[in-house]
A and B are shown apart, each in its own frame.
Chain A
């Protein structure tokens, strides 16, 4: 089995895996970063979203071999102490219900805001529409993205 050096949350991890193993399973099963969730396995729900070189990507679709050499950030590494402005906004608006999709929501929102810190409502919806929340906390998510944008600016 090939070996890969992955840079995750500013630490280097050496893992053995098949070339086409989704990054999600490496994160969860080998590096014990279980904050990133499995939802659908086909990139349609967003629960597995991580940052790859600052871009929000679906870790269920990204093969471990493609992730080598890139800067990967998971929810655990978004901030040292859980005080990233998006996390703070999420708590303030009290977004989560069951919580399961929220890591993915937060990773999508934080990558988006880092590129567009002053978004319009429709830009927010465009950025967030690939992340499914079955509890339908969408109004709160939208509100929290706006609050986070204020915090960032």
Chain B
């Protein structure tokens, strides 16, 4: 039902897209996926004599290693060798942004699950058995698990960052209302169903090939080269696809690939290292928990005049991507609102948790949760609905973000008003009021959630990609880019682009694996930008080839180039079909020694950011949208379900409707999970308690809202987006924040004494306590 609705409304606006595009909106991997034939790293056929590896990790969160006895493990039959920091020929260093993270612990351990050694054996089973035989003695040091504690102790990753706009101090003095408060949002486990892993093979001359489940092939390559002390060109990284990434494989796919490569380097044998689920959960970082304090000031007519916020990011034991994530928190601290006076500050707090890392939204959701909390608190104190404050402060065209970028082509109000109109918000509210009046044990709540999310890596220098397009002499096409397919459908989109430019059928096109020998120096597939960056470079390469082919056709057919068009695998002259087919045209080009390969480089224009001033224009564009949540809370049990989520979303002009809808739904549900049920728990010793799928609950088929409707907002699209089709991977996750506030409103309908708390996730346990709180 929901899908048809989208299709109908989109069909009207897709006239500019060719038939090839319209027809090809299905995921090109569907065929192999449904037959179990799609290959992930654990499925590749390994060489005979391949060794299997298991990581030995720290059983304490912080301490000095007094002794380790490997002798019993080494003596176990089938164990080939155990590698430690002493075996590293290059640098024992894997930190991407800050060099503060060793591959293997040296004298100290900094988190529970920190890798100490790699056990390589004939089978994984033997390696696991050997792991149990290792004896380690650790002199324990004090453990920090929360950001607040780290702040008190002065434990930070780097210097704090701060954005400011206007003069908050002055503005607060003229506010009618001022409110202060604290919020907490917990971490989130990625739970890609395919766990981390890599397979390493020796090639000649000491070269190594790695098959990795990584979003960042180049960072794998660079880090291996650095750890082994060899040149990057000796390392080839290949990625077919990922069984889910969600940010968890942007930086943290690297250590396992490096360890496998290290073993291959010494043993000259293939080595496979696939983490099992428990190891993966224990050893890898998650979405950052944030503890934040805010102060919000409003005028009498509910304009937010000033907003001051301090974010404490629980970064874990090493920097990983935390500084970049902290930065994005600042970029999105005011979500979809124009606030003329802002002072935002973020501190990346060093604790003894596994280094927390990228997760869909990349710090943005944490920032948005705080301002939505501030608005909810202000609303409840003033005695208005949060909706009134939200609506009063939505961004307008040419408003300034706190980081200096001027908002252009703003759709904040458009999506908000469209959502209210299309979904008849007044009727919804009446319905809920009526229901709540007539039900004692079930209560409904409603919340609106606008989103504004900036597209581009905020580190400007990362916004580039390359595409290598070959047309083979039989007319078939192979395309290599830097894009890693992980379910977001980027390969399908790239295929659509080439199919449109050449006007050939999709079966003429193959998207190759992502490989560092074909496309080098890549940025990771992240920041929702993969389709934009790699799609644009593919478009450039294909257009260059097209010009060349038109020239060949013009010479052969003796007509002017401008009168030539390629259509449905034939050359057309003045819109009349000629006898020259695509394959013949390619043969003629070959015969005339015309290059049928093109490499194109795309770098996003116009973007810049000056970190010394914390001002600039970091984003190519923004994605907007508004979601309306309705929930029903069972006031006896504390359980809840979402009756509906109704969204007006800014796709630009979607080039792949089905894929984009899947991204919206998937991100939404992941956001709901983060806000409601996914509860990461560490004990005070820094041990992960939610260490299996039996103790960490992620959304299942019952958790999905009973109805999800997504309507595209009518826009012209944005030229900075690929074929005007805007990035879609991350922004809809933040709709999920609405789930939290809808539940709060339902609780208030049951318990008028309830004092709203901003402590996510809002688990059924917390709901139950809140329903009966004094």
Nearest residue (CB) in A for B699 is A136
Chain B residues with Cβ below 8 Å from A130 are 700
Q: Does A59 contact B (CB under 8 A)?
A: no
Q: From residue B22, how far is it (CB to closest CB) to chain A in Å?
A: 14
Q: From residue A125, how far is it (CB to closest CB) to chain B in Å?
A: 5
Q: From residue A96, how far is it (CB to closest CB) to chain B in Å?
A: 4
Complex: how many Å from CA A57 to CA B702? 20
Whether A44 and B693, one on each chain, are in contact in the complex, defined by CB atoms closer than 8 angstroms, is yes
Whether A97 and B488, one on each chain, are in contact in the complex, defined by CB atoms closer than 8 angstroms, is yes
Interface of B, secondary structure class, is loop
Q: Does A67 contact B (CB under 8 A)?
A: no
Complex: how many Å from CA A33 to CA B45? 11
Chain A residues with Cβ below 8 Å from B274 are 38
Residues of A107-140 at the interface with B, using a CB-CB cut-off of 8 Å, are 125, 128-140
Complex: how many Å from CA A98 to CA B40? 10
Q: Does B637 contact A (CB under 8 A)?
A: no
Whether A38 and B42, one on each chain, are in contact in the complex, defined by CB atoms closer than 8 angstroms, is yes
Whether A135 and B35, one on each chain, are in contact in the complex, defined by CB atoms closer than 8 angstroms, is no
Chain B residues with Cβ below 8 Å from A42 are 277, 692-694
Pick from A95, A132, A140: contact of B698, CB under 8 Å: A132
* Given A44-B694, A98-B241, A99-B38, A91 and B30 contact (CB-CB distance below 8 Å): yes
Nearest residue (CB) in B for A21 is B125
Whether B701 and A129, one on each chain, are in contact in the complex, defined by CB atoms closer than 8 angstroms, is yes
Q: Does B293 contact A (CB under 8 A)?
A: no
Residues of A13-51 at the interface with B, using a CB-CB cut-off of 8 Å, are 28, 32-42, 44-45, 47
Interface of A, secondary structure class, is loop
Q: From residue A84, how far is it (CB to closest CB) to chain B in Å?
A: 9
Whether A75 and B35, one on each chain, are in contact in the complex, defined by CB atoms closer than 8 angstroms, is yes
Hey, what's the 0/1 contact readout for B241-283 against A, CB within 8 Å counting as 1?
1111110000000000000000000000000001011100000
Chain B residues with Cβ below 8 Å from A35 are 35-37
Complex: how many Å from CA A102 to CA B701? 14
Q: Does B102 contact A (CB under 8 A)?
A: no
Whether B243 and A98, one on each chain, are in contact in the complex, defined by CB atoms closer than 8 angstroms, is yes
Nearest residue (CB) in B for A82 is B35
Chain B residues with Cβ below 8 Å from A90 are 30, 33-34
Q: Does A68 contact B (CB under 8 A)?
A: no
How many B residues touch A, CB cutoff 8 Å?
A: 59
Chain A residues with Cβ below 8 Å from B704 are 136, 138-139
Chain B residues with Cβ below 8 Å from A138 are 669, 699-701, 704
Q: From residue B633, how far is it (CB to closest CB) to chain A in Å?
A: 20
Q: Does B598 contact A (CB under 8 A)?
A: no
Nearest residue (CB) in B for A77 is B36
Nearest residue (CB) in B for A133 is B193
Whether A94 and B34, one on each chain, are in contact in the complex, defined by CB atoms closer than 8 angstroms, is no
Q: Does B670 contact A (CB under 8 A)?
A: yes
Whether A39 and B277, one on each chain, are in contact in the complex, defined by CB atoms closer than 8 angstroms, is yes
Chain A residues with Cβ below 8 Å from B192 are 98, 100, 134
Whether B30 and A40, one on each chain, are in contact in the complex, defined by CB atoms closer than 8 angstroms, is no
Chain A residues with Cβ below 8 Å from B32 are 99
Whether A96 and B694, one on each chain, are in contact in the complex, defined by CB atoms closer than 8 angstroms, is no
Whether A44 and B692, one on each chain, are in contact in the complex, defined by CB atoms closer than 8 angstroms, is yes
Q: From residue A17, how far is it (CB to closest CB) to chain B in Å?
A: 11
Hey, what's the 0/1 contact readout for A66-96 against B, CB within 8 Å counting as 1?
0000000011100000100001001101111
Q: Does B638 contact A (CB under 8 A)?
A: no
Q: From residue B184, how far is it (CB to closest CB) to chain A in Å?
A: 24
Whether B702 and A99, one on each chain, are in contact in the complex, defined by CB atoms closer than 8 angstroms, is no
Q: Does B3 contact A (CB under 8 A)?
A: yes
Q: From residue B530, how far is it (CB to closest CB) to chain A in Å?
A: 14
Q: From residue B234, how far is it (CB to closest CB) to chain A in Å?
A: 29
Whether A99 and B487, one on each chain, are in contact in the complex, defined by CB atoms closer than 8 angstroms, is yes
Q: From residue A1, how far is it (CB to closest CB) to chain B in Å?
A: 12
Q: Does B298 contact A (CB under 8 A)?
A: no
Complex: how many Å from CA A87 to CA B193? 20
Pick from B26, B243, B277, B666: contact of A94, CB under 8 Å: B26
Complex: how many Å from CA A47 to CA B670? 19
Q: From residue B77, how far is it (CB to closest CB) to chain A in Å?
A: 14
Whether B34 and A101, one on each chain, are in contact in the complex, defined by CB atoms closer than 8 angstroms, is no
Q: A98-B242, A100-B192 are in contact. List 15 more A-B contacts (CB 8 A).
A: A35-B37, A42-B277, A42-B693, A44-B692, A45-B693, A76-B35, A76-B37, A87-B34, A94-B25, A94-B659, A96-B27, A96-B30, A97-B489, A128-B701, A138-B704
Subset of 7 A-B contacts with CB under 8 Å: A35-B35, A41-B278, A82-B35, A90-B33, A96-B29, A99-B29, A137-B662
